[in-house]
Amino acid sequence: MAKRIDGKVISKQIKDELKEEVAQLKAKGIEGSLAVIQVGNDPASSVYVNNKKKACEYIGIGSISYELPEETTEAELLDIIEDLNKREDVCGILVQLPVPKHIDEDKIIQAISPKKDVDGFHPQSVGAMTIGEPGFLSCTPAGIIQLLKRSNIEIEGKHCVVIGRSNIVGKPMALLMLRENATVTIAHSKTKNLKELCKQADILIVAIGKPKFIDESYVKEGAVVIDVGIHRNEENKLCGDVKFEKVEPHTSAITPVPGGVGPMTIAMLMNNCVESMRGQK
């Protein structure tokens, strides 16, 4: 029977470990806060921002939030980031994406000091990850590695197919699986014979951004399936990129949506904040 990989339980384990470490750091006089900046009031972003604040509270670090109006200029945002880069009490800076269209997202990402880039999106963090140097890892892919490891799923030598090549999920995911000694194939919208390719995967990681796209015909019997997608269906319920009910019986392990990859992203964000605090030692 397929094992359901429980992201809620695993993310709680990680947050509990971090909570303990934060208490130890505090005892040594090391504290820190995560600065979260939201521009505009996109409701989905507000939910994510709120969850991040709650997670900070849970593990015992501070959070400073900036809720800026939609018309905030790029220069104003860059000034705030520059200020936060200098503040010693701030261990991490996160700008909730997407930002409004009049703001250049790349410029914003690059303005954040790599020492406080807890989202792991800065080109320096991405470069460090690529060559195996220390640096912040992109949270969702790093969370998936934790899900696999903490579920005792072997990665080394396995064929992993990652569907999607975005900068925040697909590409870093493929690199992290490579770092864990998987043999990695990256598929995207121009890939030919997607189904045949996916059927060769021991571990199939789906970050395609299309609700319930992957059914059982894409999955090798006994494969591990990780569903990164998050969508709201017609009934306003959350679903992933995978047709869970159809695919689950053919897998050895699978992540549900919700309760799979989603909770791990915030846990790994907290991990990066604590990592930044450790760096102050």
Contact, 48 vs 96, CB < 8 A? yes
Contact, 209 vs 164, CB < 8 A? yes
Query: Would you count residue 165 as binding ligand NAP (CB under 6 A)?
Result: yes
Q: Which of the stretches 92-100, 111-119, 222-230, 245-253 binds ligand NAP when contact is defined by CB under 6 A?
A: 222-230
Q: Which of 22, 163, 205, 224 binds ligand NAP (CB under 6 A)?
A: 163
Query: Would you count residue 230 as binding ligand NAP (CB under 6 A)?
Result: yes
C-alpha distances out from residue 181 to 33, 118, 177, Å: 35, 25, 7
Q: Which residue has the tokens 């410029």?
A: 107
CA 67 to centroid of chain Cα atoms: 22
Q: Which of 11, 63, 96, 140 binds ligand NAP (CB under 6 A)?
A: 140
For ligand NAP, which is the closer residue by CB, 25 or 95? 95
Query: Would you count residue 267 as binding ligand NAP (CB under 6 A)?
Result: no
Q: Which of 191, 199, 216, 238 binds ligand NAP (CB under 6 A)?
A: 191
Query: Would you count residue 162 as binding ligand NAP (CB under 6 A)?
Result: no
Q: Strand order in 3-4's β-sheet?
A: 3-4, 251-254, 223-227, 203-206, 159-163, 183-187
Q: Which of the stretches 37-45, 64-72, 197-205, 224-232 binds ligand NAP when contact is defined by CB under 6 A?
A: 224-232
User: Is 38 known to be catalytic?
Assistant: no
The 10 Å CB-count burial string (b at 16+, else e) for 30-57 is bbbbbbbbbbbebeebeebbeebbebbe
* 278 vs 32: CA distance, rounded Å: 10
x/- letters, 71..100, toward ligand NAP (CB under 6 A): ------------------------------
Applying CB under 6 A, the site for ligand NAP has a residue count of: 25
Closest approach of Cβ 27 to ligand NAP, in Å?
Answer: 32
Reduced DSSP (H G I as helix, E B as strand, rest coil) percent helix, strand, coil of the chain, to 5:
45, 20, 40
Q: Which of the stretches 19-27, 100-108, 119-127, 159-167 binds ligand NAP when contact is defined by CB under 6 A?
A: 159-167
User: Is 215 known to be catalytic?
Assistant: no
Q: Which of the stretches 30-38, 88-96, 151-159, 260-268 binds ligand NAP when contact is defined by CB under 6 A?
A: 260-268
Contact, 206 vs 214, CB < 8 A? yes
For ligand NAP, which is the closer residue by CB, 7 or 135? 7
User: Which residue, 182, 180, 126, is CA-closest to 157?
Assistant: 182
Query: Minimal CB distance to ligand NAP: which residue?
Result: 166
* 270 vs 42: CA distance, rounded Å: 23
x/- letters, 167..186, toward ligand NAP (CB under 6 A): -xxx----------------
User: Is 200 known to be catalytic?
Assistant: no
Quote the crossing angle between the two packed helices 262-278 and 43-59, to the nearest 10°: 50
Note the residues at the interface with ligand NAP (CB under 6 A). Answer: 140, 163-166, 168-170, 187-191, 194, 207-210, 228-230, 241, 261-262, 265
Catalytic residues: 52, 96, 119
